[in-house]
Structures are given as C-alpha cells and as structure tokens.
C-alpha cells in the first residue's frame, strides 16, 4: 500500500530560535525510500535557506541506478500505455483534488527547502492544480487521431496518430520544486509515458512528496522513478536512458544537455535563462504599474525564470513610476515564517547570494545608482538579500547582460515605444516580457514585436504562465520547445502517419481502381495522366 503523505512536523524559527528545520527520520523515511539509490553513492545533506541548518540526508543515485530505474520504467510503461485514456486522466483529476487538500504540508516543504515566502510557494500549488485539471480535461482532444487530406481524394484516407515516446527524463531545478517537477511529469504520464525524474538534491523532498501524492492518486507502481544526484553524472545518465529529455536551468548547462541529447539522438525540451524586460508606457497609472512591477521582479526573491530584471520606463512617467516603485519595494517584508506574514523569502543558496552581491557591487562600481536595497540581510537569515533597484547602469556592467536570478532590477528611461522595443530585444535571451499600458490594443501590438516566447500585457508573468492551454517557452538562448498546452503534451509523443488506399481489390473480384492502376498505364502515360489530375485538384481548390 502506498504511504499516505501526512503532516511533517516543522518548528518555526520565528517562535523557536533553536529550530534548524532538521526533519525527524520517521517523518521523511517513507519519502526517501522512493529514491532509486545505492549505498555506495552516499548522501547529500540539504540545508534550510532560512537558517543555514541541515534539513535531511538525501540518498544519492549512481548511473547504474539510473539504468535500473529506466528498465523498471519501461516495463511499467508498456502496461500503462495500453490502459484507456480515461484511466490516465482520472489520476490527474485526483491529483488536482489532493494537492489542494494537502497544500499545507507541501507548502511547508517548499518553504523549508527553497526559502521562498509562503505566498510564492502557494503559486506552485495553484500551478499544479491548473495543469492537472487542464490535461485531465483536454488530453483526449490533444491525443486524438487527426485526419488529413490523402493523396487521391476519395481513395486515400490518411490519419496522423500520436504514441507515447516511452520514457521521459525530467531534469528539474531547485527554484520551483513542485511546479517544475510535477508540472512536467503530469503531461508525460497522461500521454502514456513513464518518467525518470531527477530533482535538484536541495529540493528533493518536495519532489518525493509529489511522487507519493501521485501514488495516492492511483498511479501504478514503477511509472515514476526518482533519482538524485549531480548533473554531470546522474543528469547525463538520465539523458542516456530516456526517449525524450526535459531540462529547466541555466543556458550554459542547457547547451551541455542539448549536445549530449543530440549525441543520443534524443529530442529535448529546454527552458533556459532569461533577462526578462518590462516596458512601462506613458499612459499608465503609475501606482498600478509599480505594484505589478514589484510582484514581477521580486516574487520568489527574484529566483524565477520568468521574473523581470530590466525595466524600461517612458520618460514622461519615469520619475513618478520610479518613486512609486521604490516606495512599494522598501515596504516589502522579509521573513522566514511558515505563514503568510512575509512578502519576500531568502535566496536558496550561498552561491546564489554570491552572484547577486557580485552583480550589484559590479554595477555600482561602474557608476550605477542604488535606489533601494543592496544589503545582505544576515540579521534575518544567512542568505537574505534586500530587494534592490538600480538606475544609470552602464552597458559594461554584468547586470546588463547576465541573468542575476535574484531580487535585483535595473531601471532605464526611453523616449518612445520604438526605443523600448529595441532595448527589450537587445539580448540573446528571449524568455518572457511585460508591457504596461492603459491602451490594451497598443500593448498587444507592441507585444508582437518583442522577441520572446511569452509577453504579458498589464501583468508580469502570471497571465501567460497561468494560461496552461498555451505554450510556455523561450527563443534564442532561452531554450527550445515548450511546456504547457498541446505543444507540451505533444513533445512527449511520437507521430505516426497511416494512409489507407481504398479500391485496390475492386468489387466482387474486379480489377479495382487503386493507385497501382495508374502505374499500369506505362512509364510514359501515367505522368501525363497524373499531371491533369494535379491541375484538376487545384482548379477544385482541394488541398
């Protein structure tokens, strides 16, 4: 019987200063037992960003463990793919209900492992509910055979079928431990695949909780295999043992994954880095735009692939917008409580803090002006950093081109819509963008000119991300392919074309009128005949 994910007791350091978020072995043992691991691989000790203290010792996997997981997954997948689609969608429907019902437990885990504020963690719960409901309702339509025009109208019937690829490998990051694991697992499973999931070791407990939730929802044994380890060894082994790989992470690592997948002739979906821009037009309500900018820039302490790092403001409203934005940013509450009292949580690691500090200090050293933040708040926790706004950042500063992935944003003035679009497109990264204007037609027209995968008009990132029926992905150095929508589901399928030629055998033993009869006309005659057929088809406007 599946272990039922129950409540994991956690002590809140705001009420218990000695708490370090160490989890009791009995609480996490059922979760850790789901990792396909070997004793010789050892363990990884994850640390709580809120306190720096240890959370749990996570079993690690070896490349041989990955191969073993793939073998078990393939055996389970054949039976799963043969099941009626309604049975697969029923699992997703139950996931929707369960993740909402048990959100308190997973919110605690997300916060403890990633350091984000509870409101940011709740976004992940909402996302999984949306994704589960969408694919439960739409998978049948997305996977249905599609009829297309045949070679000879009336005689050729052609259909396009979609089959599961087999085993899908998902290599997930630490910043969205529920969304970027379970959110990619669900469409792969409903398409009839098995999954090998490699979560980041820092946030493995959240992913393991999700795996157990799937089991409670009725997912058969063996279909979801979880392995834990670093990218160069365990991540590479995942690529070598699957039929499609989905990777979310940095552009640098994404290039490595893409190259390795290419060597294996394995298709890959890659969502990579972003240096996401926002434009604030001259007709906005500056208070509304400033409120939206605060959410878009600082949710998750800026550790969101689609969060905003560059803001371009029309010069006519630049002073008013900047004042409102700075005022609202300074009012944000930093904290580590397992409740909704804090607006901003911690960065997830010392390494991420180091990058943020380096980018800010480099920008200031090159002459940038600090308007807010720029302070490492070690008094709150070891890796807290104040939401930071800079202006007058020169082109030579690292902050201009490199993804910071932290609570830091640079503001620049522009004189026109055209200048704003040119500045937004001045990057090799093209993941997400935001445009704020009172004229939604103007906003939609500008959006089409921005070279990114998603554009939000009068929102930061939630409108596009939450529209789970639409594809979500990047262009340029921000990735290949998409998650969400039919495109995300189709990525985990292979297509097959089946064309049936009618009339070959005739009626009552007659000679038939199939395509082969045309070739019987002889090598010189049949091309002339078919030339007239092609002309007739065009005249009839047949596709």
Q: Whose CA is closest to 290, among 249, 265, 260, 320? A: 320
Q: Could you tell me the pLDDT band of residue 2, with boundaries at 50, 70 and 90?
A: very low
Our CA dihedral for 439, 445, 447, 451, rounded to 10 degrees, sits at -160
**Higher pLDDT, residue 182 or 1:** 182
Distance of CA 85 to the CA centre of its chain: 24
Q: Could you tell me the pLDDT band of residue 517, with boundaries at 50, 70 and 90?
A: low
- The answer to whether 139 and 489 have CB atoms below 8 angstroms apart is yes
- Residue 490 has what pLDDT? 98
* pLDDT single digits (tens) 445-471: 999 999 999 999 999 999 999 999 999
Looking at every residue in the chain, the average pLDDT score rounds to: 93
Q: Could you tell me the pLDDT band of residue 515, with boundaries at 50, 70 and 90?
A: low
Cα 160 to Cα 304, 483, 504: the distances in Å are: 37, 22, 22
Q: Could you tell me the pLDDT band of residue 19, with boundaries at 50, 70 and 90?
A: low
Q: What's 276-470's CATH class?
A: alpha beta
- Catalytic residue check, 403: no
16: Cβ contacts below 8 Å, ≥ 6 apart:
none
* pLDDT single digits (tens) 79-119: 999 999 999 999 999 999 999 999 999 999 999 999 999 99
The catalytically annotated residue of 113, 124, 271, 403 is: 271
Helix (H, G, I), strand (E, B) or coil at 118: helix
Q: State how far the Cα of 490 lies from the Cα of 190, in Å rounded to an integer.
A: 11
Mean pLDDT of 321-348: 96
Mean pLDDT of 224-233: 97
Q: State how far the Cα of 158 lies from the Cα of 379, in Å rounded to an integer.
A: 67
Q: Which CATH number fits domain 60-272+487-494: 3.40.50.2300, 3.40.605.10, 3.30.450.20, 3.30.310.80?
A: 3.40.605.10
Buried b (16+ CB within 10 A) or exposed e, 7-43: ebebeebeeeeebebebeeeebebbbebbbbeeebeb
Q: Whose CA is closest to 111, among 342, 330, 295? A: 342
- Residue 29 has what pLDDT? 87
**Higher pLDDT, residue 26 or 305:** 305
Share of the chain above pLDDT 70, in %: 93
- The answer to whether 326 and 371 have CB atoms below 8 angstroms apart is yes
- Residue 1 has what pLDDT? 31
Kindly report the CA angle at 135 between 133 and 137, in degrees rounded to 5? 70
- The answer to whether 248 and 305 have CB atoms below 8 angstroms apart is yes
Mean pLDDT of 231-242: 97
* pLDDT single digits (tens) 275-332: 999 999 999 999 999 999 999 999 999 999 999 999 999 999 999 999 999 999 999 9
Q: Could you tell me the pLDDT band of residue 354, with boundaries at 50, 70 and 90?
A: very high
- Residue 26 has what pLDDT? 76
Q: State how far the Cα of 521 lies from the Cα of 83, in Å rounded to an integer.
A: 47
Would you say residue 5 has pLDDT above 50? no
Would you say residue 509 has pLDDT above 90? no
Would you say residue 42 has pLDDT above 90? yes
Q: Where in the chain is the domain with CATH 3.40.309.10?
A: 276-470
* pLDDT single digits (tens) 250-263: 999 999 999 999 99
Q: Where in the chain is the domain with CATH 3.40.605.10?
A: 60-272+487-494
Pairing of strands 244-248, 268-271: parallel
Scanning 17-62, the segments in alpha helix (DSSP H) are 25-32
Buried b (16+ CB within 10 A) or exposed e, 416-446: ebebbbeebeebebbbbbbbbbeeeeebeeb
- Residue 17 has what pLDDT? 43
- Catalytic residue check, 271: yes
449: Cβ contacts below 8 Å, ≥ 6 apart:
421, 425
Would you say residue 485 has pLDDT above 60? yes
Mean pLDDT of 68-76: 98
Would you say residue 21 has pLDDT above 60? yes
The structure's pTM equals 0.93
The catalytically annotated residue of 212, 305, 309, 386 is: 305
Our CA dihedral for 66, 72, 75, 78, rounded to 10 degrees, sits at -60
- Residue 511 has what pLDDT? 54
* pLDDT single digits (tens) 138-163: 999 999 999 999 888 888 999 999 99
């Amino acid at each position: 019987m599946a272990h039922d994910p129950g409540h994991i007791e956690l002590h809140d350091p705001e009420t218990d200063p000695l708490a370090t978020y160490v989890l009791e072995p009995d609480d996490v043992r059922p979760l850790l037992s789901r990792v396909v691991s070997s004793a010789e691989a050892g363990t990884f000790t994850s640390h709580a960003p809120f306190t720096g203290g240890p959370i749990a010792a996570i079993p690690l996997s070896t490349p041989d463990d990955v191969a073993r997981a793939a073998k078990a997954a393939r055996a389970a997948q054949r039976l799963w793919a043969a099941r009626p689609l309604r049975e697969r969608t029923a699992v997703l429907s139950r996931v929707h209900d369960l993740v909402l019902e048990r959100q308190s437990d997973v919110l605690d885990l997300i916060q403890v492992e990633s350091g984000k504020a509870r409101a940011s963690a709740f976004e992940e719960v909402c996302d999984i509910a949306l994704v589960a409901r969408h694919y439960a309702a739409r998978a049948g339509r997305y996977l249905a055979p599609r009829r297309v025009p045949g070679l000879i109208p009336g005689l050729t019937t052609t259909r396009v079928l979609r089959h599961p690829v087999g085993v899908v490998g998902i290599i997930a990051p630490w910043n969205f431990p529920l969304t970027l694991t379970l959110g990619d697992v669900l469409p792969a499973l409903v398409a009839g695949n098995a999954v090998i999931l490699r979560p980041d070791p820092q946030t493995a407990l959240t992913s393991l909780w999700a795996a157990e939730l799937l089991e409670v929802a009725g997912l058969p044994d063996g279909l979801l295999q979880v392995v834990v380890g670093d990218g160069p060894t365990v991540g590479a082994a995942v690529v070598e043992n699957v039929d499609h790989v989905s990777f979310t992470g940095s552009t640098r690592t994404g290039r490595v994954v893409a190259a390795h997948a290419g060597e294996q002739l394995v298709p890959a979906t890659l969502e990579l880095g972003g240096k996401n821009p926002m434009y604030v037009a001259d007709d906005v309500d500056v208070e509304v735009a400033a409120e939206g900018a605060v959410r878009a820039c600082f949710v998750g302490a800026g550790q969101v692939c689609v969060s905003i790092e560059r803001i371009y403001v029309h010069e006519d409203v630049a002073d008013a917008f900047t004042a409102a934005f700075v005022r609202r940013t300074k009012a944000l509450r930093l904290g580590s409580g397992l409740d909704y009292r804090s607006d901003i949580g911690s960065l997830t690691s010392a390494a991420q803090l180091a990058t943020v500090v380096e980018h800010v200090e480099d920008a200031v050293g090159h002459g940038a002006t600090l308007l807010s933040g720029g302070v490492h708040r070690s008094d709150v926790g070891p890796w807290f950093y104040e939401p930071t706004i800079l202006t007058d950042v020169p082109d030579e500063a690292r902050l201009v081109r490199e993804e910071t992935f932290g609570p830091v944003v640079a503001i620049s003035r522009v004189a026109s819509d055209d200048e704003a679009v040119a500045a937004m497109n001045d990057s090799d990264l093209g993941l997400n963008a935001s445009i704020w204007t009172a004229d939604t037609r103007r906003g939609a027209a500008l959006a089409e000119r921005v070279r990114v995968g998603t554009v939000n008009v009068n929102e930061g990132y939630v409108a596009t991300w939450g529209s789970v029926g639409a594809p979500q992905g990047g262009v340029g150095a921000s990735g290949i392919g998409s998650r969400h929508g039919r495109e995300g589901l189709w990525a985990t399928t292979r297509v097959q074309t089946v064309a049936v030629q009618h009339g070959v055998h005739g009626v009552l033993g007659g000679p038939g009128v199939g395509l082969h009869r045309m070739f019987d006309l002889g090598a010189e005659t049949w091309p002339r005949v078919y030339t007239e057929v092609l002309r007739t088809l065009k005249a009839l406007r047949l596709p």
